[in-house]
Amino acid sequence: MLTTQIDHFSDYIAGMTAVDGALVLTQQIDIVGFGVEIQATQVPLSSVYRALNVEGTSFQAVPADHGGTRHRAAYRLCLAAPECLAIVVSQDGNVQFVHNQDGQVVFWDQLSF
């Protein structure tokens, strides 16, 4: 029964991510919005950091404008709301996990699918 419910929830979430824009959830997995554009242009951000290891203890500085709109929005959101975790799925299939770590925006590149 639980497996079936998880499958249904996964399909529900996947359906919302098919819409261009962000899917925003709370920590309790309540849906705040989907298909939205996150704008935090008032948050100054010149560089972000690529994590070179899983632990996030080794970094490479990268200009904050190196990614597309989705990436830049996620970077600014994580800077403005440090408790956030953003998962960015780009149009080409690349996935990044983005988080604020001690005041710096750090991202982890994941495998493409």
For the stretch 64-76, pLDDT in tens is 888 887 888 888 8
Express each pLDDT in 24-51 by its tens digit.
Answer: 887 788 888 877 777 766 777 889 999 9
CA distance 41 to 86: 17
Provide Rg for the chain, Cα atoms.
15
Beta sheet of 47-51, edge-to-edge order: 59-63, 47-51, 104-110, 95-101, 85-89
Token output for 37 = 């554009």
The average confidence (pLDDT) of the chain is: 83
Place of tokens 């951000």: 45
